[in-house]
Chain A
């Protein structure tokens, strides 16, 4: 090819992309927020709420107490809204997708159609309209359950949104939560009416148009009196995204006798073997057990992201309320995770349980950081915490930083933590039975995580087990 022709070609390509893209003006400003609000056709109160958050943001500073440090983020150099990719931009078939990604899909046993969906291949509209999702939607409507994108809820159910949005994570919270409040683009909204048991596991997967919710996701789940809901976030399949910063907010509200079970599997792009690239996952998740006898249970499997920084918490306000936190955090190569929970006991007879399993390999750093705070009025409360860490090799780190506060004489807090490596005897035994090193490690690690994996909904648990093994590939031997 002649040099002249080459020049022309580059020029042509550059030109097309410019036309196809539809983005908010670059940078963080009042204008950007107004733009997002306008595109979402939001009412004025919502815009005012966002602007209030933005004003608060101006005086806040990024937190710097967490162990993983990250390079400075230039907030003025980010796009805060970009329209979903058009059919033209999407890969036409799986052949155009990164073969490494496909390999992992196959290992996880993800069906072909789903593989296409996950990797953003343009799916035939006919396939989509007869999908399971539509059938499920009808069933939910019958029960009066609202499950829709939050932007839709802002328009259709403003009273519910107004009442609960920001009631658990106030707009004046820390930097990233406030940033999210100002510029969130979309996310899920769930409302379970009184005395209703949601008949299925709700998942973003079944929400039509759920893909491409962007980097600032906002989720709000309300379980009214006596209701129950189980919600799944994410999936085991590796997720690629061009945005490096992810700052989602998730708020849960459980009223009298209600129960919310929230499960997450996070497998965002962790960066390559040398720690280049990867997502910064700075998430704020908080649940309020507002009613008597309410319960919130968080389960998370964190295997992805270059830096994970999240503390799904429970505020146990109602008497007899229960908070639970089950977590597996796996870090390999140069990944860094600083994760844990906060259990804040305010009501009488409140109970909480924390089970955290951290696995560190390669040159990774894995920190459990948690708070258990039993207030003076939280009589007869109880907490049990167990954090175990597993280290593979001497280049990685495992850290435990629990904060424990007990302010009354009738409550009990118990905390235990251990750090160890994989037991040689167990490995030897497995080898003897004909398992190779990698299979043996995977078996032992799965055993180590069992208490948490059990908490996941069944179909999820099977995939998560495979994910645990895959995440540690290449870290032994």
Chain B
């Protein structure tokens, strides 16, 4: 592990003594156990150590944030813009919103980034974090337009690792649609992100994670959050196109009537490996959680879903649902699932379902009898299968945009 990581701590600017010592300490803690491997239950289906050591020989940290490109913005709908370059906040533009209601700044301290479960990538992040953003929506303010985070990765990131941390806070009775839009060049790099989300009473956060182009990135993202009374969190994961991607979501429904939706539609092709791992903790009565994970697996891709619903003894009247479905198009592809329930309250409605298999031959047959070619019929079915995920997005202009980006991916299926 020490040979693999060639870290230059001098690259962090304005390093005071305490911070430098903390970083070194965290880095040593990380080196002790190294990258997680399949012996770790959380990484059972995605052996990160194997994947990284196979693809990287020498990893360094990045300190280059130069950015001269023209921003190729989305024209399908009006939106506020945040530009991140290599994980670091570059600029923002909230001109659709009232002044002072939405704030963003570079994250200054990692306070509040405590994790319940031990995670070695957390040590790595704390050791090498370059910050990130701190986004806050004031209370009683419903954002007029969505915020799109243009997450740019430059061309000179080969063999580099980016560690960043973000904080998102949505105040009481506020609403925000946040779209993370990843755009990258050809370079092969690692990204390790920790994100903290805080949704206050009656607030709503809709979060879309989208990948614009195919990318040689190896991404890990850890989202952990808390939800207050009557709050709502909805996450739509459409991040196909990465070499490796693991998104871990740890959401705590702390007060009554809060709800959490996680929906994912992934279309994976050659040498792509994606994992979605969720843990929804129902800690108060009358909360709702809903997860729907859909994967289409082509070539030698691998899709993994590990989902856990935890219901505390006081969390009566919980309504929790988990569904994972996969279509496997090729014998080299693999789908692994571990949908887990841990329940300590009796008056609950908890269920999960998981299915994986080939594309429905009868449906293909039906379409072909109607004069549609095999290739087209397949695409049509896959499109129908995946687009169910964002049916719940009410904003009529965002939906066609997402449909369009999915269609581009599906076109690549042969």
Q: Let me know if A74 is at the binding interface, CB within 8 A.
A: no
In the complex, which residues 323-378 of chain B have their Cβ closer than 8 Å to any Cβ of chain A? Answer: 326, 328-358
Known contacts A404-B354, A420-B348, A415 near B339 by CB under 8 Å: yes
Once the chains bind, are A394 and B313 in contact (CB under 8 Å)?
A: yes
Render B267-279 as a binary contact track against A, CB cut-off 8 A, 1 for contact: 0000000000000
Known contacts A399-B340, A404-B338, A407-B334, A417 near B357 by CB under 8 Å: no
- In this complex, the interface size class of chain A, counting residues with CB under 8 Å from chain B, is 20 to 34
Once the chains bind, are A408 and B328 in contact (CB under 8 Å)?
A: yes
Flag the segment in A321-329, A385-393, A457-465 that touches B.
A385-393
A56–B330 alpha-carbon span in the complex (Å): 41
Once the chains bind, are A418 and B351 in contact (CB under 8 Å)?
A: yes
A405–B352 alpha-carbon span in the complex (Å): 16
Known contacts A406-B328, A406-B335, A416-B353, A421 near B358 by CB under 8 Å: no
A402 to chain B, nearest CB (A): 6
A409–B314 alpha-carbon span in the complex (Å): 43
- Taking a contact as CB atoms closer than 8 A, the residue among B331, B340, B347, B353 that contacts A421 in the complex is B347
Q: Let me know if A239 is at the binding interface, CB within 8 A.
A: no
Chain B residue total in the interface (Cβ 8 A):
37
Closest partner residue, chain B, to A371 (CB atom): B338
- Taking a contact as CB atoms closer than 8 A, the residue among B316, B342, B346, B355 that contacts A414 in the complex is B355
Contacts of A397 on B, CB cut-off 8 Å?
342-344
A405–B353 alpha-carbon span in the complex (Å): 14
Closest partner residue, chain A, to B329 (CB atom): A409
Once the chains bind, are A406 and B326 in contact (CB under 8 Å)?
A: yes
A-B interface pairs (CB < 8 A), number:
119
Known contacts A394-B316, A395-B313, A405-B334, A418 near B350 by CB under 8 Å: yes
Once the chains bind, are B355 and A376 in contact (CB under 8 Å)?
A: no
Q: Let me know if A165 is at the binding interface, CB within 8 A.
A: no
Once the chains bind, are A403 and B341 in contact (CB under 8 Å)?
A: no
- Taking a contact as CB atoms closer than 8 A, the residue among A65, A406, A411, A416 that contacts B352 in the complex is A416
Q: Let me know if B98 is at the binding interface, CB within 8 A.
A: no
Q: Let me know if B41 is at the binding interface, CB within 8 A.
A: yes
Once the chains bind, are B344 and A409 in contact (CB under 8 Å)?
A: no
Known contacts A65-B41, A404-B336, A411 near B347 by CB under 8 Å: no
A399–B314 alpha-carbon span in the complex (Å): 16
Once the chains bind, are B355 and A415 in contact (CB under 8 Å)?
A: yes
Once the chains bind, are A391 and B343 in contact (CB under 8 Å)?
A: yes
Once the chains bind, are A393 and B346 in contact (CB under 8 Å)?
A: yes
Once the chains bind, are B41 and A402 in contact (CB under 8 Å)?
A: no
Known contacts A65-B41, A409-B330, A399 near B342 by CB under 8 Å: yes
A339–B352 alpha-carbon span in the complex (Å): 19
Closest partner residue, chain B, to A419 (CB atom): B350
Closest partner residue, chain A, to B303 (CB atom): A406
Name, among B328, B330, B332, B357, the residue most crowded by chain A CB atoms within 10 Å (CB to CB): B357
A407–B331 alpha-carbon span in the complex (Å): 7
Contacts of B328 on A, CB cut-off 8 Å?
406, 408-409
Q: Let me know if A426 is at the binding interface, CB within 8 A.
A: no
Contacts of A394 on B, CB cut-off 8 Å?
313-314, 316, 344-347
Once the chains bind, are A419 and B351 in contact (CB under 8 Å)?
A: yes
Q: Report 19 cross-chain contacts, Cβ distance below 8 Å, ordered by A residue.
A: A391-B346, A393-B346, A395-B344, A398-B341, A402-B338, A402-B340, A404-B335, A404-B336, A406-B336, A407-B333, A408-B331, A409-B328, A412-B356, A414-B354, A414-B355, A415-B337, A416-B352, A416-B353, A417-B339
Q: List chain A positions with a Cβ less than 8 A from chain B.
A: 65, 376, 389, 391-421
Given contacts A400-B352, A407-B331, A419-B351, 10 further A-B contacts (CB under 8 A): A376-B332, A389-B341, A391-B348, A393-B346, A399-B341, A399-B343, A406-B335, A412-B356, A416-B351, A419-B343
The 9 tightest CB contacts between A and B, nearest first, are A412-B357, A391-B346, A415-B354, A421-B346, A400-B341, A404-B337, A418-B351, A419-B350, A406-B356
